[in-house]
Structure 1
Amino acid sequence: MEKKKFAVIGGGWSGIYALKYLLEEQLDARLYEREPNLGGVWLYKEAPGGVYRSTHVTSSKTFLHASDFPMAKEIAHFPKHDQVLAHLNSYADYFNLWSHMHFTCDVVKIEKGQDDQWRVRFRNDGREIVEVFDGVVIAVGQHQTANDLRHVEPLDQFTGTMSHSISYKEPDDALYCDKTILIVGGGETASDLAVELCRVARRIYMSIRGGQWFQERLTGDQPADIHFTKSLGFFGFYDNIWVRIGWSVLIRPFWGEGGTGIIEWKPRCRLFHGFINKSREVVHRVAQGIVIPKRAIASIKEKLVTFDGDGKPVHIDHILLCTGYIRSHPFLDENLEKEVDIKFLYQLIFPVNLPNLAFVGTARPVFGSIPSLAELQARRVAQIFSGRAFLPSPTNMSTWLSKYWKRHTQLYPFDARLRQLVNQFEYTELLADEAKVKPNLWRLFFSQPRKWYTIYFESPWTPFLFRMNTIESEDEKLAYARHVECIPRPDQPFGNYKQFIRSAIVCAY
């Protein structure tokens, strides 16, 4: 019997994971990437798109390890884009993926064929190639099509120069040098570029329409995100006792409302009910008077910009839009594009009415990393495509989606554009449970209580959790060893969990 054939579209982090796990299921899988090498947005190029020259990750590498292939120990906590690319190349080497990858293959069209198959048309070296696949994984990422608002009111009234961060590469550009710049957006790119442009611009204004939560990236010389243990979700993933303790003991007294104390950027939502910006260095520039915080834009007249709450307009030379990206698949026709809208993706992966089509890399965590979510998505897709697991009926998937989106609206009331927003712990628990790769914590509680305690209360969340189960086989023991290597050092702030928890409870009550 002829092997079924599967295509993976996109050679970034998500696509590489999808290819690896499809091959692991003994499927005939091929990856197609339009660039001449893997890496996706992490492959630096001078053309618009992808990383800029100084890009570093904003989540620590603890959240970037593959569950069975950790980043090298010599890589820094927050690696630069070239280190990420080197890691992805090493991953492809280790799992022998290169022979299954096809580069400079631009996908022109994906359309439904017969018997639930898919026809994919590529352009390669001036030639067009059509192939038929039994399944397709779309892993083109979340950062391909700019959410460019320059033609939207009131930005369309601006007569100065304007650009989107998708085209930004370095600060030494005539657009920025000795100019008064307005950065629009409250994400990590906006914060990083505000800091970077300070050295060449005359002045920087930064407008955040709905406020923004900020989190310090470090505690001591270690990443702050490694202090999020599984016990954080012991009483729920959102408004639990640990969140209240963290808010009352750490955030409000040390960093102020929203993690900054900046009134103009005060968030509308509660902690963990909106995206958390981990590039907090911009707050230091605000304190130095180099970056001027502003609320939403109220009006624009030529080069004069007025902000909410301000009566006096500000003269701006250049507006840099850090307004994110929109989900777009130009290789799908209009009808298919509607069917793959994220509101119709079961578990943010599977279109309800399109068998053998799946998406990897669709979820964005409130804190954490997209790759760590993408790996679990890829494992789930591979199980389904191989027939080792099955999806519910379309009716049951639709019922699940109805409940999911109702709750999502309640959890994230002010992030309507970020429909893909999820809680790192909650979403990975969901996928790991479906894929049957969760550690058996109840069994560990009775058979290996010390390790249970370490996993729940001493160690951070890591992808290695989903390689442990009962920690009895050699591979499981290796995963556990890798996991405990990520435990914060006790000589650092909050490194001693017992002492921290006792102090936090005393302070909170």
Structure 2
Amino acid sequence: MSSNTSYTDCGNTVCIIGGGPGGLCMARALKRQGLNYEQFERHSDFGGVWDLDNPGTPMYESAHFISSRDLSGFLDYPMPKHFPDYPSNRQILEYLRSFALAFGLYDKVRFNTPVERVDKDQDDRWIVTLHNGERRRYMALVCATGCNWDPNMPEIKGHFSGEIRHSVTYRHPDEFKGKRVMIVGAGNSGADIACDAAANADKAFISLRRGYHFIPKHLFGLPADEVSEKGPQLPMWLTRLIFGSILRMVNGNLTRFGLPKPDHKLFESHPLLNSQLLHYLQHGDIQARPDISHFDADQVVFQDGTREHLDLVLYATGYKWSCRYATDYFEWKGGRPHMYLSIFSRQHHNLFGIGYLETNSSAYKLFDNEAHLIACYLADQLKRPRMAQEFQTLINEDEPDLSGGIQFVKSQRHEVYLEVHALKKHMRRLRQRMGWNELEAGYFNPVRSQQDYVMQPLSRAS
């Protein structure tokens, strides 16, 4: 709690911290509800992790969107048809800034303005301290700074005489030339970077702790997520049966490439949406290895006792979810903030998070849904206090099952994992119960600028 009263009181204004995709969705949702807000972004423009020039970003030159173009755009602002099925990082950055222009979101943001800390006062208002010492008091606080900034580095016994880095430092495939390289970890970014190593390193390896189900980026000539999303919504057992049969026909038994057999059913953990890594494994350009046991000089010793001489070990082992300016105000469970629907703090009034969830879906439309719920709830606090109190009761007491019948892998990553269809159904029920607008085509048109912005490709210096 903060007792210092030397601040600027911003009344019923909402504070948004972060100018990435989640922060942009939140700004547009508040604008649509007619609520006043201020937004702070530590970097010089919108884009978040998608801006390669943003200090600390995990982005790399070869990165592409993991969900497809037509399913990934914001409501009322689809990605342009000239984008490929899986847009590049530069195209996503171009799209985000065009979105901000189209909805007039540059008007209320302060760039180059990091937030040092936040404090809650005795009136449940939020005091935000900026890097220059300025303090401002708000009705509500939305943390939209994402969770891919604090690299997770495992501790491995022994000493390695080569180079050890985390993938957050990786930018370009040329970094692998002339080296014997191993990527540790097989998330989607780890698989991507392993492909860069396969094509550029003198020798390339990937170390996997567990096996994964590989889904090709295209099935039947369509992006794989379109095949899943646009088909009929089937029971999970039947979806598993159909997709499992397709994957067995397309991929066969992947253990023949040295990959471990998955220790979980399809969709119980994130599948790898990657065809290229299998291509390189099939051609011997990269080799799979088990989990690391220890280091020994310039060698890596694996759990099965085998060894490899290496120059570079690059950990693609994910990120610790953190919110350094407000860590003490979140309840952390398994390294994840524990909130109602992964959005609403149960402990602190009007503290919200955008993007603090793991799910089997494209993120941007989910961000739209999250931001819409927050904005409607805040609007009710000012216009329909009885309904706002009803929703506050739900925040405190509602415990929906959002697993969709899936028994997710027991791991830190899956502490807040949600099945997207179960989440969307519950959000829809909440909107109906509370009398809030549905998120339908045209909902955000009233706050779109009269001018239609045409996206222009970003220059390399932008």
- Smaller-chain TM-score bracket: 0.7 to 0.9
- Distance in 2 (CA, whole Å) between partners of 1:399 and 1:257 is 46
Aligned counterpart, 2:65: 57
1:111-126 aligned within 5 A: 111-123=119-131
* Number of equivalences: 426
User: What are the within-5 Å matches in structure 2 for residues 64-463 of structure 1?
Assistant: 64-123=72-131, 127-149=132-154, 152-154=155-157, 157-173=159-175, 176-219=176-219, 221-229=221-229, 232-235=232-235, 238=236, 240-248=237-245, 250-257=246-253, 262-308=257-303, 310-332=304-326, 335-338=328-331, 342=336, 344-366=338-360, 368-387=361-380, 390=388, 397=395, 400-401=398-399, 404=401, 411-436=407-432
Structure 2 residue corresponding to 1:23, chosen from 12, 21, 31: 31
Asked if structure 1 preserves the Cα contact closer than 8 Å seen for 2:214 and 2:271, the reply is: yes
Higher helix share: 1
Q: Tell me the amino acid that sits aligned with residue 166 of structure 1.
A: V
More displaced stretch, 414-423 vs 357-366? 414-423
Query: What SS class does the counterpart of residue 270 from structure 1 fall into?
Result: coil
Q: 1:408 to 1:326 in 2, by over 3 A?
A: farther
TM-score computed with the length of structure 1 as normaliser: 0.77
Q: Measure how far apart 1:391 and its partner are.
A: 6.6
Gaps of 5+ in 2: 1-9, 446-462
After superposition, give the CA deviation of every residue in 1:185-241 in whole Å (9 maximum; x if it has no partner): 011111111111223311111011021121100135531211113655342xx3x22
1:467 aligns with 2:426: no
Q: Displacement, 1:264?
A: 2.5
1:43 and 2:51 are equivalent in the alignment:
yes
* CA distance in 1 between partners of 2:352 and 2:22 (Å): 12
In the alignment, is the contact (CA less than 8 A) between 1:353 and 1:394 conserved in 2? no
Code of the aligned partner of 1:7: C
Which digits, 9 at most, give the CA deviation of each residue in 1:305-349, with x for residues without a partner?
A: 2223x333111221100001111111125x324469745301101
CA contact (8 A) 2:74 2:368 kept: yes
Q: For the residues of structure 2 that align with 1:360 and 1:189, how far apart are their CA atoms?
A: 21
User: In 2, Cα distance between the equivalents of 1:186 and 1:398?
Assistant: 37
Q: Which has the higher contact order (CA 8 A, sep 6+)?
A: 2
Compared with structure 1, are the counterparts of its residues 314 and 49 closer, same or farther at alpha carbon in structure 2 (3 Å cutoff)?
same
Structure 2 length as normaliser, TM-score? Answer: 0.85
Superposition RMSD in Å:
2.8
Tell me, in whole angstroms, the C-alpha distance in 1 between the residues paired with 2:28 and 2:118: 22
Kindly, what percent of the aligned residue pairs are identical? 24
Which segments of 5 or more consecutive residues in structure 1 lack a partner in the other structure?
Answer: 438-464, 469-474, 479-509
SS at match of 2:413: coil
